[in-house]
Amino acid sequence: MILCDIGNTHFHFNKDGLLFDEKECSLKKEKIYFISVNNNKTNELLKKNPNSLDLSKYVKFNTSYQGLGIDRIMACKTISDGVVIDAGSAITIDIISSNIHLGGYILPGLKAINDSYRQISEKLDYNFISQIDMKILPSNTNEAISYGGVGMILNMIKNIAKNQKLYFTGGDGVYLSKFFDNSIYIKDLVFRGMKQTIKENNL
């Protein structure tokens, strides 16, 4: 079975349990079960694999949220209670209770936040440092930017989550999950939702 989560910048594949990303789809003449938030990349996939199946037409999900993205739906689909954080180009935070999606938030991703400092001033042209202790007061500009930028995300998640279980996924999910004791990182969380959709519909 080949699954594909088409994001804003990459094709994310799960081929027989092997996870990999591509900027351009290299798989040809294979049936692929997919979801997508990018029309141009969807057309690229279908041109190479015209028999591929769009799972968004089959998914069942309990939410009153208007316009909830299919990637967020699949990330939340196998979680019955807790907060789901998908940390990619954007960071989405969704709250699930008793298998019902209550709502959620969309924030810029860490790279987008980091890049925004450079647009303010060339003096703020620093990359986020990897090791951050939010209990320590920053003592230089690089630390100030790193603690400020990452801290915005961490505080948002903390205020939303309270004592709920946190489920992280996405490229920056591993990094962010380390700041919370009640968290778990699930690399294939979106694909788990896709597999459940396939099973529910006997596809």
Catalytic residue among 5, 71, 86, 94: 71
The C-alpha atoms of residue 153 and residue 108 are separated, in whole angstroms, by 9
- 54 included as an active-site residue: no
Burial profile 152-171: b = 16 or more Cβ within 10 angstroms, e = fewer: ebeeebeebbeeeebbbbbb
Judge whether 194 and 36 are in contact, CB under 8 Å: no
The C-alpha atoms of residue 14 and residue 3 are separated, in whole angstroms, by 5
Active site residues: 71
